[in-house]
Chains A and B, each alone.
Chain A
Amino acid sequence: MSRIVILGAGIAGHVAASHLRRKLPKEHEVVVVSPNSNYQWIPSNIWVGIGRMKPKDILFPLAPLYAKKHIDYKQAKAISFYPEGDAEELKPYVLAEYVAGANKGTTEKVTYDYLINATGPKLNFEATEGLSPGKNKTHSVCTYTHADEAWNALNDLIQQMKQGKKAKILIGTGHAKATCQGAAFEYILNVEQELRRHKVRDMAQITWISNEYHLGDFGMDGMLMSYGSNIMKSSEMVEMIFEDRGISWILGVGVNKIEDGVAQYETLEGDYKTESYDFAMLIPSFSGHGFKAYNKDGKDITNKLFKGFMIVDADYTPKPYEEWSVQDWPETYQNPLYPNIFAPGIAFAPPHSISKPLKSKNGTDITPAPPRTGMPSGITAKLVADNIIEMIKHSNNELHHKGSMGNMGAACIASAGFGMTKGSGVSITTYPIVPDYNKYPDTQGRKLGKTFGTIGLAGHWLKLALHHAFIYKAKMKPFWWLIPE
C-alpha cells in the first residue's frame, strides 16, 4: 500500500488527485492537504472582477467531493518538509497546520510514500511597498475574494462616472518581475467593455502598465503567429487591439511603490516616474511559499529542495540568454535528490525566465517571470500522477511520462469582453510554450500554424465553454477524464 500526499488543491493538485484516485486501486491512499476549502476555477475570476459572475459560479467545496471519491482531505497548510523523516518518525513527512475545524492551529506530521507539491505561487504583495488588494485604490483578481472586491470598487467608480466624474484606470503588473500578464490583459479589455456597456467609456482614461519590453510579450518572449492568412507578431496584435479600444500603455517598467492613487515605477532608462489612478488592478509578484526543509538529523536542507519554488529536473546552471535552451526546462518535475517528491504546475522553480532578461540603468531586473498557465499546470500534474502510478505498480523508479514546456502546446483564450452576443475573446495557441530557437529558427522559436491568434465572439463562447467544461471535470462528474487538461 502506498500513500500519496498532494499539497494544494488548485489546478495542478486537483488534477493529480483526481487522476491518482481514478487509476489507483483503493488500497492506496490519496491525501490532499490544502488550506482553501473550495476549488476555484481561477481563469473565470476575470468575470467576477467585472461583476458578470459571482464567486459561487466559479467555486465548489472540496470536502464533500473528496469524501465521495475516497480522497482523504485535510484543510491544512504545509509548513515544512522532512523528506527523510526525523528521529521519531522514520517515514518522510510534511508538517502541516490545520486552518479550520476542531483541529485549527494544531500541527500534524503527514507521512507519505510519494509527495506532490502543487502549492502554486504565494501572491507576494509585500514585494511592492503599499500594494495590497483593497488598499490605496489597488485591487487584484488573483482570487475570487480579491476579484469580488475589485468589482465592488469598480462599480462604485462607474456610478461616480455616471455622475460626471472623469476617472483614470491603471491595469497591469505591480512588480518589476511579475508574471501573469495574460490575466491583466484580459481584465483591461473586460473593464473597457464594461465601461462601454455602462455608457461611461468616454469618462475614463485606461492605461496598461507592464514590465514587458514589448506589448504581447506575456512573459513568453512574444510570439510570431498566424493571424488569418497573415503572419503577425503578438506585439502587433495587442497594439492593434489596444489602439482600437483606446487603451494607452507604459512598457518596460517595474512598479516599486504604491501610494493612495499613485503608482511609482522605474523605467529601463533608469528614470523614476509616477502614474496616478482612481482604480488599479496590478498583478503582484509570485514567489515560493518560504517552506523550510530538514534532514533526519534536523539539519536545514531548504536549499536542496527549494530555490524560491521547488527544485526539479531543470538545468539551473546560470548562463546568458544566448545560451538558454529548451533542454533547460524540466520534463518530469521530480526533485533530483528525493525521487519520491514532485512539483507540477506553478510550484516548480523554472530554470530562468522565457523573456529576454533586461536590467534598468540602475541595475534593477525588469523582466516578466515565466508564466505557467492552467493548461501546462494540468498536463504536468497528470504526467506526475501517471509516473507515480507506474512507480507504484512496477516498483521501480523509471519515469516514462515526460512533458517539457519546450515540447508542449498551450491555448490561452483571453476574454476580451463578456456577453453571448457582445462578448469577445482573443484566442491564442502557442507551440511550444518555451520557444525552441534551434528547431524553429525562422519563426521565433515556434511552429507557425500551431501558434496562431484570432479575435472575435467565438473566443468568448470558447472561454465560457471551457469554464463549464473544466468545472464539470473538476467536480469529477461522469466521464470527466475524457476532457483533456
Chain B
Amino acid sequence: MTRRISKYKRFLMMNPIIQFFKFIYLSIKIMVVVAGGHGGTREIN
C-alpha cells in the first residue's frame, strides 16, 4: 500500500459534517448535470 491520500484529505473525505454539506452540494450538482436536458446531435437549431 502506498499512501496516496494524505491524512488531512482523508479526514475531509470521511468527516460526517463536512460530508453532509458535500452530500447536499453533490445532489444538486448531479441533478444539474443529469436533469440539465439532453437532445440530438445531428440538427443544429
- Checking A241, A403, A431 against B39 with a beta-carbon cut-off of 8 angstroms, the contacting residue is A403
* Contact across chains for B3 and A409 when beta carbons are under 8 A apart: no
A250 CB–B CB distance under 8 Å:
no
Which of A123-131, A162-170, A287-295, A458-466 faces chain B? Answer: A458-466
* Contact across chains for A243 and B14 when beta carbons are under 8 A apart: no
* Contact across chains for A407 and B38 when beta carbons are under 8 A apart: yes
- Contacts A/B (CB < 8 Å), 7 sampled: A331-B39, A331-B41, A403-B39, A409-B33, A457-B16, A484-B34, A485-B34
* Closest Cβ–Cβ distance, residue B19 to chain A (whole Å): 4
* Contact across chains for B34 and A458 when beta carbons are under 8 A apart: no
**Cβ contacts under 8 Å, B1 to chain A:** 243-246
| Minimum CB distance partner of A403 in chain B | B38
* Contact across chains for B35 and A243 when beta carbons are under 8 A apart: no
* Contact across chains for A424 and B38 when beta carbons are under 8 A apart: no
- Checking A404, A429, A455 against B33 with a beta-carbon cut-off of 8 angstroms, the contacting residue is A429
Number of A-B contacts (CB under 8 A): 102
User: Would A375 and B34 be within 8 Å (CB), given that A404-B39, A407-B41, A454-B22 are in contact?
Assistant: yes
B interface with A by C-beta (< 8 Å): 1-5, 12-16, 19-20, 22-23, 26-27, 29-36, 38-42
**Cβ contacts under 8 Å, B5 to chain A:** 240, 244, 455
A134 CB–B CB distance under 8 Å:
no
Q: Tell me how many residues of A have a C-beta within 8 Å of chain B.
A: 43
Complex CA–CA separation, A240 to B29 (angstroms): 24
**Cβ contacts under 8 Å, B3 to chain A:** 244
* Contact across chains for A454 and B40 when beta carbons are under 8 A apart: no
| Minimum CB distance partner of A423 in chain B | B14
CB under 8 Å from chain B, chain A span 297-322: none
* Contact across chains for B33 and A411 when beta carbons are under 8 A apart: yes
* Contact across chains for B39 and A407 when beta carbons are under 8 A apart: yes
* Contact across chains for B40 and A456 when beta carbons are under 8 A apart: no
- Checking B4, B20, B32 against A243 with a beta-carbon cut-off of 8 angstroms, the contacting residue is B4
**Cβ contacts under 8 Å, B31 to chain A:** 484
* Contact across chains for A327 and B41 when beta carbons are under 8 A apart: yes
- Checking A244, A331, A457 against B19 with a beta-carbon cut-off of 8 angstroms, the contacting residue is A457
- Checking A241, A407, A452, A484 against B40 with a beta-carbon cut-off of 8 angstroms, the contacting residue is A407
**Cβ contacts under 8 Å, A456 to chain B:** 12-14, 19, 22
* Contact across chains for B40 and A404 when beta carbons are under 8 A apart: yes
Complex CA–CA separation, A410 to B27 (angstroms): 13
**Cβ contacts under 8 Å, A462 to chain B:** 23, 26-27, 30
| Residue of A454, A458, A465 most packed against chain B (CB within 10 A) | A458
User: Would A436 and B33 be within 8 Å (CB), given that A244-B4, A458-B20, A459-B26 are in contact?
Assistant: no
* Closest Cβ–Cβ distance, residue A468 to chain B (whole Å): 13
